[in-house]
Amino acid sequence: MNKHIFWISSYPKSGNTLVRAILTGLFFSNDGKVKFENMRNIGLFETTRRLNFIKSINEKDFYNLGDLTVLSKYWQKIQVSQELKIVNGFGFLKTHSCLVSIKNNLFTTKDISKGYIYIIRDPRDLCISWAKHSNYSIDQSIDFLCNSLSVLKWVNKSKYSMVPKNIFPLQFVSSWKEHVKSWTENDFDIPKLVIKYEDLIVNKEIVIKKILKFFYENFNIKINNLNTRLENILETTSFDYMKKAEIKNGFDEAMLWSSFFQEGKKGQWKDVLKKTQRSKIEYNFREYMNKFGYH
């Protein structure tokens, strides 16, 4: 089995979209200018059209894909699908799934996965963005982050999906702590790069150069026309630019009740969270907050 998938992984609302935009400028443009339509080259793994093939293999399982123990049997089979877009040996995929095993079915393996970038964000800020995105209260959002059994529905929008609308395949997200632990502390002997969302906001150029170094050192990939490309990536991935682009053209991942690009700031929790809310997050996540400098 050939290694071919490169994951862009994060807990929801942690900067996954921004990293995908940067990679789009590097791998899927001629000049570094990022367009939303080109970001589809780094698609979401958890879209139900990828499950169509299961119906011909096991119809009973197909109609029970709302059960994670059933769905997990097919995680790796989906990842060897010919539908994946492979460019220069890389099939880039976005996921929010926890890197776990269910009934001895591991989400992915080092025999399939070529490497990954994992993005981490201060959970005190993350819970605010997740509340707006999910139409939750802040307390509901914090409960989601703290729940080791948290799940999300797979996206079922494509006209090519055969999965009935009353069946809800689930991606296992788990708690913020377990998610971070699964992707940053594992024995996968593959190239991995951990990026902090806050560094993307404050030092984006430095982070992009770190990404370039990562791909060069691990995969011997050089990017042509780098200075122009870098300048255009910085311009077209700025928060204001992407916000205006969403207002003008829409964005696939926006919710009906909320635009996708909200604040894009760090430290907003200081003005939003109550002391009890902040304390709950810090109590539950102290170990990994300290590890990644969220004091």
Domain annotation covers residue 41: yes
92-122 residue pLDDT tens: 999 999 999 999 999 999 999 999 999 999 9
Whether the full predicted model's pTM is greater than 0.85, yes or no, is yes
Residue 171 maps to a domain: yes
Domain that holds residue 101: 5-122+147-239
pLDDT on residue 60: 97
Domain count, the chain: 1
Report how far residue 129's alpha carbon sits from residue 272's, in angstroms, rounded to the nearest whole number: 11
* DSSP H or E segment with residue 193: strand 192-196
Residue 63 lies in a domain: yes
Average pLDDT in the 133-144 region?
Answer: 96
CATH number of the domain encompassing residue 195: 3.40.50.300
Convert the pLDDT of each residue in 27-63 to its tens digit: 999 899 988 888 888 989 999 999 999 999 999 999 9
Residue 87 predicted with pLDDT over 60 = yes
| pLDDT tier, 280 (very low <50, low <70, confident <90, very high otherwise) | very high
Is 186 inside a domain boundary? yes
CA–CA separation, 116 and 5 (whole Å): 8
pLDDT for position 258: 42
pLDDT score of 175 more than 60: yes
pLDDT of 235 over the 80 cut? yes
Q: Work out the pLDDT band at 64, boundaries 50, 70, 90.
A: very high
Q: Note whether residue 230 is domain-resident.
A: yes
Give domain status of residue 183, yes or no: yes
Run of H or E including 8? strand 5-10
Tally of CA atoms within 13 A in the half-sphere of 65 that contains its CB = 29
If phi over 0 gives left and psi between -120 and 50 gives alpha, with beta otherwise, what is residue 103? left
In a domain, residue 255? The reply is no
Euclidean distance between CA atoms 190 and 116, whole angstroms = 8
